[in-house]
Amino acid sequence: MAWIPFGGGVNRCVGAAFANMEMDVTLRILLRELRFAPTDAPAERRRWRGVATVLARGARAVVYRRTAKASSGAHSASLADHGSA
């Protein structure tokens, strides 16, 4: 059985396009304002979740606020060049 977000066919969620737009905006803001790095914690056990293998404790990360200089520079993470279809 496959999971289809927002359903499919004639029963597709009417808010699917809006939810995808909200997700796009949220990811752009998070990647622009914050920097994510893996922790140096010991390795986590992997767990099978039916479709993919995931880390048992949710893949912990350290989050840093970007500085004003880094967020406006060429090295900042941005999805602007990866326009959505």
Give CA angle at 38 (59, 58), nearest 5°: 10
Question: For every one of its 85 residues, what pLDDT tens digit does the chain have, with 9 covering 90 and above?
Answer: 566 778 878 888 888 889 999 999 999 999 999 999 887 777 777 888 787 777 777 777 889 999 876 444 444 444 444 444 4
Q: What is the pLDDT of residue 79?
A: 45
Inter-residue contact 32 to 42 (CB < 8 Å): no
Q: Using the 8-state DSSP alphabet, how is residue 21 labeled?
A: H
**CA contacts within 13 A on the Cβ side of 19:** 8
**Contacts (Cβ under 8 Å, ≥6 apart) of 66:** 32, 33, 34, 35, 76
Q: What is the pLDDT of residue 83?
A: 47
Q: What is the pLDDT of residue 18?
A: 92
Q: What is the pLDDT of residue 10?
A: 82
Q: Say whether 24 sits in a helix, a strand or coil.
A: helix
Residue ranges per structural domain of the chain: 36-73
